[in-house]
Amino acid sequence: MLTLEDAKALVATIPDPEIPAVSLVDLGIVREVAMDDDTLVVTVTPTYTGCPATAVIALDIETVLLKQGAEKVRIQTQMAPAWTTDWITDHGREKLRAYGIAPPAVAAANCAGMLSAQHPDCPHCGSSDTTLIAGRGSTPCKAQFRCAACLEPFDYFKAI
C-alpha cells in the first residue's frame, strides 16, 4: 500500500503536460494530497476554466499513483479560489526560465487583462528590453514576446 507521504512525493514528480519541464506541484495546480478513508484524494485547480490539459492532468496523476500501489484514487477539481500565477513556486519559476519561458513576477496577477503592462525579462539573455508580439503563445496561458537585445522570441506565462 502506498503511504500518504509517498503519494505526495510521487505527485510532485508529475510534469505538466503542456510544459514538461515543470511539475504540477511547482505550477501550483495540485492543492492537496490527502486520504479519505481508503481513498487517496488529490485536489487540483486548473490554470483556467476550460484548460484543455485538465483531463490529461487528472489521468496522469491517477495513472502514476495506481501504478505505484495506491488502491483507490479520486481526483477532485476545485475551482474556487481560482488558480493564480502567484501559486507557482520559486523553483517552478526557475524551471520555466531555464526552459525558455519567462515566468510572471510574483504579485503580477493584479495586471491580469493588461498584458501590455507586463514586461517580462528575456529568459535567454535577461534583458528587460522586450516587446509584446502576440497575446497568445504556444498555449492560451502564454503570450509571445521578443527581446530587443538578443532578438529571440520567447513565451511569457501570463500573470493571472
> pLDDT digit string (tens) for 122-134?
999 999 999 999 9
**What is the DSSP secondary structure assignment for residue 23, as one 8-state letter?**
B
Tell me whether strands 39-44 and 73-77 are parallel, antiparallel or unpaired: parallel
Q: Residue 92's closest CA among 79, 80, 82, 101?
A: 101
Topology of domain 4-77, CATH = GMP Synthetase; Chain A, domain 3 (3.30.300)
Burial label, 132 (beta-carbon count in 10 A; 0-12, 13-18, 19+): middle
Specify the pLDDT at position 142: 86
Amino acid at residue number 71? E
Is the pLDDT score of 86 beyond 80?
Answer: yes
Longest dimension (CA), the chain: 56
Q: What does the domain layout of the chain look like in residue ranges?
A: 4-77, 87-157
